[in-house]
A = this chain, B = another copy of it.
């Protein structure tokens, strides 16, 4: 990797982050980003084939931090607590993540492409492991239903259209977590 390529990569990400926050991800065109980054269209497309891949790249570091805490952090998020509590803590952390980066996450994951990100695979494996630990008969069929409430559009709908607070959403999900692993 050439040094200027790396520099441009950073400029693209920084510009995209700013634009997403300012205008909302769906309203930002690839041209907007390339212009704001001071980079040509071709250069932009070289690394990021579409808007989603940019948003994914932006979210990556935040998600990685949470993944680390899930694997090695303190209970109840990390290992040690009972499955239901860990699931509730996971929900709470995800709500926090969605809240902090809603504008990113919203434009990022359009339709089924959401499931194909590395992060989704990680959440999936985590929840599946918790269900298994709770001795659930069919963890595979319950994983997606339990992750579905964390879909960005569901979250945004609850928050913006139904007027729910993050705290209310967290409480409800904690309730769900305990019930389902109980």
Interface size on A, residues (CB 8 A): 33
| Chain A 142-182 interface mask (CB, 8 Å, partner B; 1/0) | 10110011010110111001101000110111011001101
Please tell me which one of the listed residues B112, B138, B141 contacts residue A157 in the complex, with CB atoms under 8 A apart. B112
Secondary structure of the A contact surface, majority rule: helix
Closest to A165 in B: B141
Within 8 Å CB of A101, what residues of B?
none
A161 to B169, CA, bound (A): 29
User: A176 and B112: CB pair below 8 A?
Assistant: no
A129 to B156, CA, bound (A): 23
Interface, chain A (partner B; CB < 8 A): 110-112, 114-115, 137-138, 140-142, 144-145, 148-149, 151, 153-154, 156-158, 161-162, 164, 168-169, 171-173, 175-176, 179-180, 182
